[in-house]
Structure 1
Amino acid sequence: MNLTKGIQKSLGPGIVLAGAAIGGSHLLSSTTAGARFGFSLVGLILLTNLLKYPFLLVGTRFTASTGKSLLEGFKERNSLYLPLFLVVSLITGTFTIAAVSFVSGVLLTNIPLFSTFPAMDLSIGILIVSGMILILGKYKALDRISKFLVSLLTLLTLFAVLSLLFKGSINESLNMSFFEPEISPWKLTNLAFLIPLMGWMPCPVELCVWPSLWMFSRAKDSNYKPNINEAEFDFNLGYLITVVTAIFFLTLGAITMYGTGDGMLSGSGVSFAQKLILLYTKSIGNWAKWIIIPAAFAAMFSTTITCLDAYPRSISAIQGLLRGTDFGHLDSKAERNRFQIWMIVHIFASLIALLIARSGGIGVKDFVFAAMTGSFLTAPLFAWMAMDTINSKLVPFKNRYGFFLKTISWIGLIFLTLFSLLFIANSFFGLGIY
């Protein structure tokens, strides 16, 4: 089979990962970063993407090299890795699914057909619809929907950025934000924003496991097992899309909202969505809502449906591995039934989380940024697990990381650890340095 045909058959898990990544980190954090600090955080976003790259690549390379899932690698490498991953997945899974479905529901309130419905009811509806799509359509539906939504939101955000640039909306103060921002982001007081930004940029480190599991379903769907070059092409394409769209959303936030970022995430989720759309339409024109609303909703819905598949898939696979009954590849009917049970459990648990959030009056900022912060604080742990596994004897020597990726991995591990410690010290011990 020629290379083009092989790439076409293997294309999927990397794009699905992009669908998971382009959500809260892009729509909320990147847009707000541009609104608050102009273009001064472009470097941090690019650096975070670079330093997380080796860790997120691990799942794809490990499975393509060994024929095993990364979760199998964790189990074989260290007896503590799998239980640790399970505990964090159980804690973060429900909260993350609830958070992204909540934002999806909020965005739907901007569509006239749904404007009279409470945002929380729409969020619950999105959860249920996503679950039905996955239970009935399985991985094939996830693959097709993710490819469509990622393509749609990339094209729409590019169109919105070009519309603004051709309109010449960049003012002099914004131009200077590259070098001398009016409000400096480099203060400890901004850690509460910078940590969530890095936590989900482009996605949490533990997502390295997801493409590894999806590769087995994609292979069954396409009846083709990709080699390492084909699998990594798919991953790299998806990763490139996440980086580019992050810069798109930051640019949109910088041009349309510069100087208003401090108030963007205040108030209710509905007020956030309305402010977001209003600022875009003021800058581009009223017609722009038909570009921004679909792009924003596509970003969040792709994240919702992907997370609703991936967390139960991971936990189900871990259950099989810990029991010693199977490898979690969904080869048997028992595995598939267990996976569906975990998906239903996550739907109900997320519904409860949403109802608790509604009764407690929790806003979009608290809901989403808490999940982002948790992802960043656990990142050093998962980064070490991924790095340790890919460079072990479980992987053929020629497929282990070379000097370049090892160097970035160590720098990334130090970067993630130092920022996590700094955030903890500032939050709990009040360093008070400005």
Structure 2
Amino acid sequence: MEKVLTQQTEQVGGMSRWRRIAGVAGPGFIVAAAGVGAGDLIASLNAGASFGLTLAWAVVVGCFIKFIVTECIGRWSLATGISPLRGFHQLSKIFTGYFGIYSIILGFFYGAAIAGALGLTVHAMFPAVDIKLGAIVAVLLGLGILWIGKYSSFEKLMSFFVAVMFISIVGAAILTKPDLSILLSGLTPRVPQDGTFYVLGVMGGVGMSIGLLSYGYWLRDRGWNGPSWIKTMRLDLVIGYGMTFIFMFAMMIVGAAFLQGSGTEVGGLSDLNALANPFAERFGEPAKWLLLIGMFSAVFSSLIGGYNALANVFNDIFNIYRKTDKERDENAVRSVPFRAYILWMCLPPLAMLFLDKPVTLVLIYAALGALLMPVMIGGLLWLMNSKRLDKKYRNGFVMNASLVLGLVMFIGLGLNELVNL
């Protein structure tokens, strides 16, 4: 398998550039599609509306930090042959217990958030469809796709969503005819007055959280095993986070060109039509559908990719406590723990469409979520410099400094989240 894939990436003659990239990119596309949700796009939109392209540098920093974190996860997985979760467990069982509790609570609330977002997006596209009905149908469709399993089909589907998001979101940005002379001005780091909240939101909104741990599983599902794939893995991540930056920056351009100075702020997907309808008035009905299709793709790909990622993590945690040597069963996506967790994320959260959120659980979820990334980055700092990893694969100064920067950044985000509880 490794020899075949290597040959595919080296055969340049007669292949288009896109096909050569697609031959290398795989799990990175999944990270891009699953990690950029509608909330991330709206955060970029509002940042553009409030400050133009001044905060484009924050998108770069957010992508860079998540790239470093994910690269460490991939490098550990390829160099050791075990998952970072098992490495964390060797350091301290506290890590596994924390991630296990968080994954169960996150599964419920993430499922509820995705269901609500899908309902609002479907309703914005087809006003005759009730929000709750749209949410239920979309979630059940996602459940059916996840239930079938098979990594190759999953990767192709996520790559399709990346293509759709690229066409729709970048297309919407191009329609606004941005001033090319100011596109690069936002790459100079500066925080405008009253812009700290937006900076943190844009940085922290790039990519997944605990779901990033699933990157190591996706590498192996793709057939990338062993240290010889580390360079390929890094290129895969460069492509993935490059696409993430393009999505976020394009939405910032839309906000800067279309909303800046209007006093309009999109609070969430419930305000989607308040953005899409004026967009259609200025640029035509097809422009409105570009936005809506882009938003739907962002949400639905977050369901498919995010649920798969979290179920992989839960499955590994389950097997750790079951004291099995294997991280996952032979066919993980069809195993009982994986499918049970998928059902947990898909079905019980639908009740949240009809009920008010239980305040106590929301507070617990928010508190655990605020601490998640600092705990994971702190664990990676420990793990990637330990003797459990061959010396030549350990972190150097740049990687450690970048992780420390990420740790400080996410501690700031976590404190901000806790203060606002």
TM range, normalised to the smaller chain?
0.7 to 0.9
Task: Look up the SS of the partner of 2:111 in the other structure.
Answer: helix
Number of the residue aligned with 1:213: 217
Measured after TM superposition, the shift of residue 345 of structure 1 is 1.9
Partner deviation per Cα, 1:291-317 (whole Å, 9 max, x = no partner)? 222222111111111112121221121
**Structure 2 residue aligned with 1:198, among 199, 203, 215?**
203
Q: Which of the numbers 98, 103, 107 marks the counterpart of 2:112? A: 98
Contact 1:38–1:178 at 8 Å: present in 2 too? no
Q: Report the 3-state secondary structure (helix = DSSP H, G, I; strand = E; otherwise coil) of the residue aligned with 1:90.
A: helix
Match of 2:231 among 213, 229, 232: 229
Q: Matched residues in 2 for 1:12 and 1:352: separation?
A: 35
Give the letter for the 1:408 counterpart: S
Matching residue within 378, 397, 401 for 2:395: 401
68, 76, 80: which one pairs with 2:94? 80
Matched, 1:5 2:8: yes
Structure 2, unaligned stretches of length 5 or more? 10-20
The Cα offsets for residues 198-234 of structure 1, whole Å up to 9 and x where unpaired, read as 332x124423301112223222xx9999711112221
Classify 1:84/1:260 alpha carbon distance in 2 versus 1 (closer, same or farther; 3 Å): farther
How far 1:165 moved relative to its partner? 1.6
Q: Against the structure 1 CA distance between its residues 254 and 419, is the aligned structure 2 distance closer, same or farther, given a 3 Å change threshold?
A: same
Q: CA offsets per residue over residues 70-98 of structure 1, 9 Å max, x none?
A: 22222222221111111122222221232
Q: Quick one: which of 104, 111, 115 aligns to 2:127?
A: 115
Amino acid at match of 2:289: W
Letter in 1 for 2:248: A
Deviation at residue 16 of structure 1 after TM alignment? 0.7
- What is the rounded CA distance, in whole Å, between the counterparts of 1:209 and 1:223 in structure 2? 16
Offset, 1:65? 1.2
Question: TM-score, normalised on structure 2?
Answer: 0.84
Question: How far 1:5 moved relative to its partner?
Answer: 1.6
How many percent identity over aligned positions? 22
1:415 has 2:409 as partner: yes
Mark the CA change 1:105 to 1:233 in structure 2 (over 3 Å): closer, same or farther.
same
RMSD: 3.5
Structure 1 CA distance for aligned equivalents of residues 139 and 386 of structure 2: 39
Task: Provide Cα deviations, 1:32-74, integer angstroms capped at 9, x if missing partner.
Answer: 2112222222222222222333222222111111121222222
**2:385 alignment counterpart:** 391
How far did 1:261 drift? 5.9
Q: How much has 1:376 moved relative to structure 2?
A: 4.6
Following superposition, the deviation at residue 238 of structure 1 comes to 0.7
The CA distance in 1 between the partners of 2:50 and 2:105, in whole Å, is: 31
2:245 aligned with 1:252: no
- Name the CA shift for 1:288/1:65 in 2 (closer, same or farther; >3 Å): same
Alpha-carbon distance between aligned partners in 1 of 2:149 and 2:209, rounded to the nearest angstrom: 27
| Contact 1:59–1:209, Cα closer than 8 Å, also in 2 | yes
Q: Does residue 64 of structure 1 match 2:64? A: no
What amino acid sits opposite 2:203 in the alignment? M
1:25 is displaced (CA, Å) by 4.3
The count of aligned residue pairs is: 403
* AA aligned opposite 1:158: V
Structure 1 residues 421, 108: CA separation in 2 closer, same or farther (over 3 Å shift)? Answer: closer
Structure 1's unaligned 5+ residue stretches are 363-367, 429-434
Match of 2:352 in 1: 353
Contact persistence 2:32–2:243 (CA under 8 A): yes
